[in-house]
Structure 1
Amino acid sequence: MRTRLLAALTALASLAAPLTAVPARAATASPGCDPIDPAACLLPFPNDWFTVPATTPTGRRVNLDPTATPRNLAGKNIDPAAWNAADGFSPGSMLLARVPGLDLAATGAAPVTDIGRSLDRDAPIVLLDLDTGERVPYWAELDANAPEARRALIVRPARNLRDGHHHAVALRDLRDAAGAPIAPGEAFTRVLGGTLPEDDPLAARQRSLRPVLRDLRHHGVAASGLYLAWDFTVASTASTTGRLTHMRDDALATLGGGSPSFTVTSVVDRTPTEDPQIAREITGELRVPNYLTAPGGPPGSTLRLGADGLPTASGEVRAAFVCVVPRSAMDHPARASLYGHGLLGSPNEVRARNVRAMAGEHGFVFCATRWSGMADEDIPYVAGVFADLSRFPAVPDRLQQGMIAFLYLARALAHPGGLSADPAFRAPSGRPVYDRRQGVVFDGNSQGGIAGGALMAVATDVRRGVLGVPGMNYSTLLNRSRDFAPFQAVLDRAYPDKLDQQLILAMLQMLWDRGEADGYAAHMTGDPLPGTPRHDVLMHVAFGDQQVATVAAEVEARTIGARAHTPVVAPGRSPDVRPFWGLRALPWWPYPGSAVVLWDSGAAPPPVTNTPPVTGPDSHEDPRADPAARLQKAVFLKYGLVVDVCGGRACTAAPA
């Protein structure tokens, strides 16, 4: 996989234009810009200035101007058509503005190491849910990858914002490195002043902001000292999740209560010498309804949408699956589990050493299919996306198609006429190698933990799942992951302006939400989506993970209401004032519910900036390789109980 990825990226980079400076675009360059932050057209972001009234659940519809979006070196703006179908912005959206000379330490803004400060009465940055009146916790950072002249202020919610809610942002009492106050820009100063005449270019912006300023004042944020303020609306649940839940319901309805059709293509029995843990490997294909525009749904395909804006099926996709059967299942029925593979991987990851160990030690039949959209077959397309981001909508669209393959695989495992009835899944005695009556569970790692969070929110045949080294919100993850480096090189060539890059990440998240945990986290455990049972998940997080940032898992855990194993980490290991801030401790053992456990294998603490770790060994593989962690996973998947395997201490794992 890495060889193919590097080859695709090298070929793409050789065709890219050489890096050249891109002049800053003034906010007056397009009628779709917001004049109150002139550093870039779409700042501040997200922003209801970029929406229009509409007959939608939120009463708004995104309306990005085609000339206002970031453009690549070929001069092509990102086509906003797919974004403009949404009725609001991402529930995990980072908040972006440009504040020249800002020093966050001198200002007293809450850093990632002390999120609790964001809720102080006099906090210089206020994120307010206008529908509930609640302040939302966050951390603030300056883009550590950018030169000062194009450095964004990034405010990241510490738990996801509520679907469909209206929010206000206020930046106040900001300071430079010398501690001197930073005055607001000319446009915002005029908006804060007296009523402007109708023919003034800022009159409309002033009218739109006055209700926001009034709401902020009502909640104790006066106009005095304001540097900038704006409002935005989070997309509704239907806008973010409606396409996938419609596809799920439609696809399952076509089965008429039966099992999906499948073909077993190979059965390989292993001797104990060949593999002491796995007795049999089975490969096959599922026939899954195709909701994508191209026959067979290849990379680059987008969803086929009907007049109602919902996906419609035409033809089918052949979804490959791979299953591993533990040696113990030949004598005693195992438990059936889906397995979710990692970044740009394939179902063959189910053959990995840690998966075979989990199957052999604890009696699981693991079956995997592809996370289409971000699988091995998508590598060339995904690499090309970062040179022309108008092509991006195909990635989350195919991710949703891939979810249907997982749901069909779960149904095939659960149904009496499904896989358990096929001779390939029978022991020599004629008995099925797994007991479908025990139900189907899920175990995924890395991308399997990220996309697996979305799967757990929509699954009907799966009630429990383990999310291994998970996180959510790619707009947070990418800058913090060493895996993004080759894609970053392509992005740097095509969109070299660092301020544009942060806007790009925020835009991409709006669509990525439809195929990863960020858009579904609020419904993963409590508040289930329509037609969906409640679920429980166990999150296994790696301290100092160089591929999936620990902080992104913390945001997910807060959003789903997971209880935390305590002590979280040994004293002195974490730079945080309070590790796992905002998470309640597990109240007792064994615990029947969702939980998060941090596994420490001695890796260096993560950076406190939006940059990837670069020193020491990577802990990403360590939790799944640890026998105690696998035991905890097995008990949870089989019985729904979180047990203490760490002896009342912080959990540690041996380096893999």
Structure 2
Amino acid sequence: MSKLLCRQITTSKAAVGIFKLLFQWNVSSQHDTGHRHTEIKSGLFSIYFYSCLLVIVAFHQGCNENSTGTSKGSQDQPGEDSVSDATFTDDTAGFEDAQTRIPEDSNEDNTLYPDTVTPDDIDSPSDIQHDDTMSMDTTEMPAGGPAYYLSGDCDPIVPSHCGLPFPSNVYTVPDPTSNTGIRVQFGATTLVKTKTGVQSSPGAFGSSDGFSPSPMILAHFPDHNGQDLNGPNNIEHSLLDLSTTTILDAETGERIPHFAELDAWAKDDTRRALIIYPAVRLKDATRYIVAIRGLKDHEGALLEPTEVFLALRDKLPHDHPTVERRRDWYEDIFERLAAAGIQRDTLQLAWDFTTASQANNTNRMLHMRNVAFSQYGKGNAPYVFDKVDDDLDRHIARRIEGRITVPLFLDKPGPGGVMVLGPNGLPVQNGTAEYPFLILIPHSVVDQPGRLVQFGHGLFGSRYVADSNDYRFLANQYQSVIFATDFIGMSEADPPVIANVILSGEADGFRTVPDRSQQGFLTMLVLMRNMLNSMAQDPTISLGGSPPYMTDMGYYLGGSQGGIYGATYLSLSADILRGVLAVPGQSYALMLPRSIHFIPFQGILSDVYSDPIDHMFVLSVVQMLWDRAEPTGYAYTLINDPLPDTPPHEVLILEALGDHQVPNLSTELLARAIGAEILQPSTSNPYGIKSSTGDRKVAMMVDIDYGLPPVPPQNQPMQQGDDPHGKAIDNLPILEMTNLFYETGTIKQMCDGACDPE
């Protein structure tokens, strides 16, 4: 880290705030270790708050170096000195430690598990891709990318910021091998540049065959007065002819519900990005058209289109090469808009983009799962028990810490690792690695087997979050053996690396987060398979007798980050049919600016980037990478059209109305994506979610009303009243509802009226 960057951090107001927040968080966490929601309280510590922690660690690692002004962890080796969460083992190494269990293959026939695959089955992407190839009409997709269509890296239809409008098909090139027929190609200078002149590289984005299906759509009108936009409280108005913004399915002509707003974080009115969020997850491998009209300036006059867009719209001559090169392409856009009732002479801006295919977002993870289960599909992965404690307290009969060996697909198992990819774009196994786990066996299952519950911790937490007094109580009260590993990529070992990525200004460096996250999902899948098979028979777990839990099915419980990533994990698991997602969400690009933990992060962004539009642009761009790990890429398959070798799931979502950390808009986006209904009675009526009285339903959302004021409509966090984020499963009716759901799959209203703290 350069001395200049160190000085920028130490002298910024943001750094002062970060130190204060870190101190407060650390103190509160140290004094709250007995609370089962320590992870939820610190728990979806929105990426930005945790990024602050990362910055401090990076500051100590880099700025305290001697006169060279460089940190031990270079850009090539980020996080080398950070806490490790794994041990690398070579493929050829034997497992000679006397404590290591190498289970024999089980011959039991259990239809819950898909058949394992052979190496011959896992070499070709076609074996795991869904048929989501682009259903295009006769219109030819744009060819040549920005170098041809723009004669540069920036689109002159929005000259006020390079890269906008975004996402856009001008940043694609033909690729007949992809499911969409295209792939993303940014120019060398399309992405953001830091104050210190670091230009973000587009390298990590070139493998994408389209853009995020939950995009933060961006445009910019410097003189826009901010009026006449359909905000989040009026989503249904976005489908009307009078709406100033329209998202159109280019093939069907269907209008897509959405909301629009100006970036409320920007202090300069002329640098507020126009942000459009689809209220539903968009279809994969589909072309969409965005149209904007009727916006006015501060004097109430209609905004004039930019020169280049006006030339395209009104068939005027222009000396910029992009105009003639895009004539035919834009004629198609205008014709499709006209067919939907939007006339070209009213348009202030219009463009198109194509969403990525399902294969783009899921094939890497599915390939990793297939490779792992070709080796350990019978629950026979090697494992080690490192520590066993008996009669821990009145709730826990045995506490076990250990490590499990799984195939490694990263260049290194610890923080900063990125995926090793083969020529076909799929991950390549790089030996094996050991990752730690924790098991809690309560007294209540010693004589009568209970259920097996896999736990997912909150943001930048760890498996030890489950090891609190209140989670121990829940395990014993509801006859549940709870076990957990770390959500690596978003666990306690990752902050220093993520901080370095943010401060470096290299957006493509963010790939370590989704890459490590996918490795973390793999560990969870293999561990669950082992827990239902070989480990269930191990005397250390069975306490010398039969397994302390039923081995026909596992269950899942995750809160905050554990709810968010839990939606992805469930969509990949063949061993879990029912999961509870407490205060989850979908699409970090939507989630983060509306979280209280974006506040200190905004200070960091302001230190790194000079233009507030850059802040939103960065979030929008990295969402493309995050889709390979977060629910946007997966959750919609939970119930309908599940992923290969994966059953449909049953899901209970718990939403805390007025959540300060995970905004309700993101929770409701997730609910719509999976087709959940909202349990009645309820005090809320979110757009596009059907009401239900409960009973046997495969997906249900339960709202808990804490009597807070309305959530601010702009893209800023809710801060009024006590944050309900960590209270979603604090009351008895919710716990009983969860228990019944686990037992029977029935979701039944057990609150006296609408659910509330009473």
- The TM-score, its normalising length taken from structure 2, stands at 0.79
Matched with 2:419 is 303
Match of 1:462 among 576, 583, 596: 576
**1:23-34 alignment runs, 5 A limit:** 31-34=152-155
Kindly state the Cα deviation for residue 201 of structure 1 after the two structures are TM-superposed.
4.5
- Corresponding residue SS for 2:435: strand
Match of 1:598 among 703, 710, 716: 703
- Corresponding residue SS for 1:449: helix
Kindly state the Cα deviation for residue 517 of structure 1 after the two structures are TM-superposed.
0.7
Matched with 2:251 is 131
Matched with 1:378 is 494
Matched with 1:409 is 527
| 1:624 equivalent in alignment to 2:708 | no
Match of 1:329 among 427, 438, 445: 445
Match of 1:633 among 738, 746, 750: 738
Change (3 A) 1:196 1:495: same
8 Å contact 1:358–1:630 — kept in the other structure?
no
Match of 1:77 among 199, 207, 214: 199
Matched with 1:122 is 242
8 Å contact 1:323–1:350 — kept in the other structure?
no
Match of 2:512 among 372, 394, 402: 394
Kindly state the Cα deviation for residue 614 of structure 1 after the two structures are TM-superposed.
2.6
For 1:166 and 1:511, the matched residues in 2 are separated by 19
Change (3 A) 1:150 1:356: same
Matched with 1:369 is 485
For 1:36 and 1:208, the matched residues in 2 are separated by 14
Matched with 2:396 is 278
Match of 1:170 among 291, 301, 307: 291
8 Å contact 2:448–2:548 — kept in the other structure?
yes
8 Å contact 1:329–1:427 — kept in the other structure?
no
8 Å contact 2:680–2:749 — kept in the other structure?
no
**1:127-166 alignment runs, 5 A limit:** 127-146=247-266, 147-166=268-287
Change (3 A) 1:269 1:606: farther
- Corresponding residue SS for 1:208: helix
8 Å contact 1:354–1:624 — kept in the other structure?
no
Kindly state the Cα deviation for residue 323 of structure 1 after the two structures are TM-superposed.
1.5
Matched with 1:25 is none
| Aligned-residue RMSD, C-alpha | 2.1
For 1:235 and 1:8, the matched residues in 2 are separated by 31
- Corresponding residue SS for 2:152: coil
Matched with 2:182 is 60
Give unpaired runs (5+ residues) of structure 1: 18-27
Change (3 A) 1:563 1:132: same
Match of 1:615 among 720, 737, 740: 720
Kindly state the Cα deviation for residue 422 of structure 1 after the two structures are TM-superposed.
1.3
Matched with 2:332 is 211
Matched with 1:652 is 756
Opposite residue 331 of structure 1, the aligned amino acid is D
8 Å contact 1:383–1:490 — kept in the other structure?
no
Matched with 1:9 is 55
Opposite residue 578 of structure 2, the aligned amino acid is R
For 2:682 and 2:736, the matched residues in 1 are separated by 19
Kindly state the Cα deviation for residue 11 of structure 1 after the two structures are TM-superposed.
5.0
For 2:454 and 2:239, the matched residues in 1 are separated by 40
For 1:534 and 1:29, the matched residues in 2 are separated by 45
For 2:352 and 2:697, the matched residues in 1 are separated by 40
Change (3 A) 1:30 1:75: farther
Kindly state the Cα deviation for residue 475 of structure 1 after the two structures are TM-superposed.
0.7
Matched with 1:93 is 215
Kindly state the Cα deviation for residue 95 of structure 1 after the two structures are TM-superposed.
0.9
8 Å contact 1:467–1:539 — kept in the other structure?
yes
- The TM-score, its normalising length taken from structure 1, stands at 0.91
| 1:249 equivalent in alignment to 2:370 | yes
Change (3 A) 1:200 1:72: closer
8 Å contact 2:290–2:351 — kept in the other structure?
yes
Matched with 1:432 is 547
- Corresponding residue SS for 2:493: helix
Matched with 2:168 is 47
Between 379-388 and 201-210, the greater mean CA deviation after superposition:
201-210
Kindly state the Cα deviation for residue 254 of structure 1 after the two structures are TM-superposed.
1.3
Matched with 1:220 is 341
For 1:595 and 1:243, the matched residues in 2 are separated by 29
8 Å contact 1:152–1:499 — kept in the other structure?
yes
Kindly state the Cα deviation for residue 200 of structure 1 after the two structures are TM-superposed.
4.2
8 Å contact 1:482–1:546 — kept in the other structure?
yes
Change (3 A) 1:30 1:540: farther
Opposite residue 83 of structure 1, the aligned amino acid is F
Change (3 A) 1:624 1:152: same
- Corresponding residue SS for 1:114: helix
For 2:201 and 2:551, the matched residues in 1 are separated by 47
8 Å contact 1:443–1:465 — kept in the other structure?
yes
Aligned pair count?
623
For 1:488 and 1:405, the matched residues in 2 are separated by 33
8 Å contact 1:414–1:436 — kept in the other structure?
yes
For 2:150 and 2:198, the matched residues in 1 are separated by 15
Listed one character per residue, the Cα deviations across residues 515-554 of structure 1 (whole Å, up to 9, x for unaligned) are 1111112212211112221112111011111111111001
Kindly state the Cα deviation for residue 78 of structure 1 after the two structures are TM-superposed.
1.5
Match of 1:582 among 688, 693, 697: 688
Listed one character per residue, the Cα deviations across residues 240-279 of structure 1 (whole Å, up to 9, x for unaligned) are 11111111111111125342221111121235xx3x3333
Kindly state the Cα deviation for residue 406 of structure 1 after the two structures are TM-superposed.
0.8
Kindly state the Cα deviation for residue 197 of structure 1 after the two structures are TM-superposed.
7.3
Kindly state the Cα deviation for residue 103 of structure 1 after the two structures are TM-superposed.
3.5
8 Å contact 1:603–1:619 — kept in the other structure?
no
Kindly state the Cα deviation for residue 468 of structure 1 after the two structures are TM-superposed.
0.7
For 1:29 and 1:206, the matched residues in 2 are separated by 13
Change (3 A) 1:374 1:171: same
| 1:473 equivalent in alignment to 2:575 | no
8 Å contact 2:680–2:694 — kept in the other structure?
no
Matched with 2:130 is none
Matched with 1:21 is none
- Corresponding residue SS for 2:563: helix
Kindly state the Cα deviation for residue 331 of structure 1 after the two structures are TM-superposed.
2.2
Matched with 1:504 is 618
For 2:333 and 2:631, the matched residues in 1 are separated by 30
Matched with 1:523 is 637
8 Å contact 1:13–1:490 — kept in the other structure?
no
- Corresponding residue SS for 2:389: strand
**1:334-373 alignment runs, 5 A limit:** 334-373=450-489
Kindly state the Cα deviation for residue 358 of structure 1 after the two structures are TM-superposed.
2.7
For 1:546 and 1:493, the matched residues in 2 are separated by 25
Listed one character per residue, the Cα deviations across residues 194-249 of structure 1 (whole Å, up to 9, x for unaligned) are 26479745221333322111111111111021110000000000001111111111
- Corresponding residue SS for 2:515: helix
For 1:369 and 1:199, the matched residues in 2 are separated by 56
Change (3 A) 1:424 1:653: farther
8 Å contact 1:30–1:67 — kept in the other structure?
no
Between 152-161 and 120-129, the greater mean CA deviation after superposition:
120-129
| 1:230 equivalent in alignment to 2:334 | no
8 Å contact 2:386–2:402 — kept in the other structure?
yes
Listed one character per residue, the Cα deviations across residues 55-81 of structure 1 (whole Å, up to 9, x for unaligned) are 111111101112111011231222111
